[in-house]
Amino acid sequence: MPDNVLTNEQNGVSQYTPDSSEQSGEYHVASFVAHAVITQLAEVQEQIKQLKGAEIHAVSPEGKIVFTIEDYSQKGIGEKIDALKYHTGLYNLAPVYHQFLPETTI
């Protein structure tokens, strides 16, 4: 597990601690689909909501969650997904789309 991810042993929830908050002159948005264990769906949703720049767009009764993450670097998005992927309530976490824009086009 990366050094910037702390896990609560009782419930398996990981807490992401960012390495840095500096802007890189880039803007990234990426979308994902997660499949959560039904009994831990609320915990997985809460973990996603705690990630800076994350927004949940849809949740199904079967445990599928569609969400996006916005960040100023690809590394920032990767670090957030690394923190989330260790949640014991996830069956699967799949990227769907990633868009990058240089700051000059924003």
What's the pLDDT tens digit per position in 21-50? 456 688 999 999 999 999 999 999 999 999
- Taking the domains of the chain in order of start, what are their residue ranges? 26-105
What's the pLDDT tens digit per position in 61-76? 999 999 999 999 999 9
- Predicted confidence band of residue 17 (pLDDT cuts 50, 70, 90): very low
Distances (CA, A) of 99 to 3, 54, 63: 27, 15, 26
How far apart are alpha carbons 7 and 12 in whole angstroms? 6
How far apart are alpha carbons 58 and 39 in whole angstroms? 18
Beta pairing class for 64-71 and 26-36: antiparallel
Task: Specify whether domain 26-105 bears CATH 3.30.70.920.
Answer: yes
Q: What is the pTM of this model?
A: 0.75
